[in-house]
Amino acid sequence: MGLQSCIGGTTLQTLKLASIPTLSSSRLVSRPVQLKALTLDFFLLSRHGRSRRSPFPLLARALSAPAIAFQTETPPEEKGNAVVKPQWKAAIDFKWIRENKEAVAVNIRNRNSNANLEAVIELYDKMSNLQKEVERLRGERNVVANKMKGKLEPSERQRLIEEGKNLKEGLATLEEDLLKLTDELQQEAQGIPNMTHPDVPIGGEDCSVIRKKVGSPPQFGFQIKDHLQLGKELDLFDFDAAAEVSGSKFYYLKNEAVMLEMGLINWTLSEVMKKGFIPLTTPEIVRSSVVEKCGFQPRGANTQVYSIEGSDQCLIGTAEIPVGGIHMDSILAESLLPLKYAAFSHCFRTEAGAAGAATRGLYRVHQFSKVEMFVLCRPEESDLYHEELIKIEEDLFSSLGLHYKTLDMASGDLGAPAYRKFDVEAWMPGLERFGEISSASNCTDYQSRRLGIRYRPSEPSSASPKKGKANLAPPRFVHTLNATACAVPRMIVCLLENYQQEDGSVTIPEPLRPFMGGLEIIAPKSR
């Protein structure tokens, strides 16, 4: 349909136009191009309709006017929703939301989300009613069409033709309204965060609960150094040259630090492959729609996402995004699940809004290497795989001899996609505190509803010999999970600071040595 292609064909120009105000004000003020086209057509059609005394314009106007008026009531600042009209539709279960309104509202509150549940429900009701109306009219139009097939008096035929025409125009108007409503509904609903696991502590960051604590801070009998100083003395990094070439928070790794990065990646991949994860490397440039479908906002204020000039592409901040995209818009055979991927990629983050001393050195950088685990599974199993993922992470960190704690993150600290999130924080002696080295999230069906990833359950006891579509169970959305197996810079911070020796050298933990050509120690170089 012409209108549909208008919506789907958003170009970078229109995205840029709409990038500053929220959608609500942008509709009234700096309307994106395709909306202008819609409104214009709407007026044309309704005027046309009125001149022919169609019975429907009043109804149409009554439906659409409150929709627009309603939008002006929403707060002008960004509400945590996408700032531009979505180019894709999330398969959100509106009925479920409506039926579980209270729980959804409580959840939104617990997560400090700006989502507007009332708006969603109102829009949904309007849309449902409009849909019924549209169907009713379609029915009437079919009745008229059928009548016209038979033998009729000329006057009767003429009357039917008139009626048919009126119905058609009215229908066109309503169908347009329906499309607009559907878009508005998507816009609002996409901002509703995922539900929350019942065991998740409610509250802000400080309410997160420690699930596990391993090891203890190493005791040093000498004045210790932080990773920056160690790196300088052992000639392992260069931040100054990188600041000139690229900007702050960029770095070169040199000498043994390169071997450490390669060793960490190779060892990690090898370990998780043993657990049945399929190794992958991924594109690091992706379409921005894929970024959005995973629950990120490429063009929000303070976005973490770098965009490519002159295109709808972005750089990935995590391999979660391109891996999530592999099975976009697919129906997987149940026998394929669970699908477990371990993806190695570089990650790029703007770190806009992050400042302060805690961002010195390798702790917060714009570009880094990471091995990410990603699981697609049946809904009943996601809690299980969440436990499996955190266990894998804990085993990896224990193998390296790190002192760390695993946290069950509080509701106020979960990203919109996460049903539950476990963070691991390792002790960093140079920083004199714990620092996050990994995160494991169960996103249930939040991402899969946006990415369109479903599976076809196989029939449990299909004794019937008759094979056909009638016997197939309807597809269901998979659950997705993601977990950091190794974020290289933070691991380097941990290893350097924890394993430093009095003479300024750093010992390499046993498991990494075979992956570093047998290197046991990073020693100061004679000058």
Which chain residues interact with other proteins by CB under 8 A? 238, 241-242, 244-247, 250-255, 258-259, 261-262, 265-266, 269-270, 278-287, 290, 306-310, 313, 315, 322, 325-329, 344, 346, 348, 366-367, 369, 517
Quickly count: other Cβ atoms within 10 Å of residue 311's Cβ: 11
Choose between 174 and 305: whose C-beta lies nearer to other proteins: 305
Smallest distance from the beta carbon of 266 to other proteins, in angstroms? 6
Minimum CB separation from other proteins for residue 377, in Å?
19
Q: Compute the least distance from the CB of residue 252 to other proteins, in Å.
A: 6
Shortest Å, Cβ 29 to other proteins: 22
CB of 447 to other proteins, least distance (A): 14
Among residues 299, 232, 333, which one has the least CA distance to residue 84?
299
Which residues share a beta bridge with 480? Answer: 376
Report the residue number, 124 or 296, with the smaller CB distance to other proteins.
296
Closer residue to other proteins in complex, CB, 202/262: 262
Q: What are phi and psi of 375, to 5 degrees?
A: -125, 135
Give the whole-angstrom CA distance, residue 228 versus residue 248.
15
CA–CA gap between residue 325 and residue 287 (Å, rounded): 10
Place of tokens 């279960």: 93
Closest distance between other proteins and the C-beta of residue 332, in Å? Answer: 13
Q: Supply the minimum distance, in Å, between the C-beta of residue 57 and other proteins.
A: 42
DSSP string, 178-229: HHHHHHHHHHHHTTSPP---TTSPPSSGGG-EEEEEES-PPP-SS----HHH
Which tokens belong to 18?
A: 């709409």
Query: Which CB sits closer to other proteins, 12 or 179?
Result: 12
Q: Which is nearer to other proteins, 116 or 369 (CB)?
A: 369
Q: How far is the CB of 487 from other proteins (least distance, A)?
A: 15
Q: Could you tell me if 47 and 25 are in contact, meaning their C-beta atoms sit under 8 angstroms apart?
A: no
Residue 200 and residue 407 in contact, taking contact as beta carbons nearer than 8 Å: no
> Residue 248: which residues within 8 A CB-CB, separation 6 or more?
none
- Asked if 398 and 386 count as a contact pair (C-beta separation under 8 A), the reply is no
CB of 286 closer than 8 Å to CB of 321: yes
Nearest CB to other proteins, comparing residues 88 and 434: 88
H or E segment to which residue 270 belongs: helix 256-274
Catalytic residues: 349, 364, 436, 439, 490
Give the nearer residue to other proteins in terms of CB position, either 134 or 523. 523
How far is residue 120's CA from residue 190's CA, in Å, rounded to a whole number?
Answer: 10
Map 48-86 to HEC letters: HHHHCCCCCHHHHHHHHHHHHHHHHCCCCCCCCCCCCCC
> How many angstroms separate the Cα of 286 from the Cα of each of 83, 278, 305?
19, 21, 11
Do 372 and 284 touch, CB atoms closer than 8 A?
Answer: no
Q: Smallest distance from the beta carbon of 482 to other proteins, in angstroms?
A: 16
Task: Say how far apart CA 303 and CA 354 lie, in whole Å.
Answer: 11
For residues 214 and 400, the answer to whether their CB atoms sit within 8 Å is no
Nearer to other proteins, 227 or 420 (CB): 227
Q: Which residues contact 480 (CB under 8 A, 6 or more apart)?
A: 324, 374, 375, 376, 443, 444, 445, 446, 447, 448, 451, 453
Helix (H/G/I), strand (E/B), else coil: 27: helix
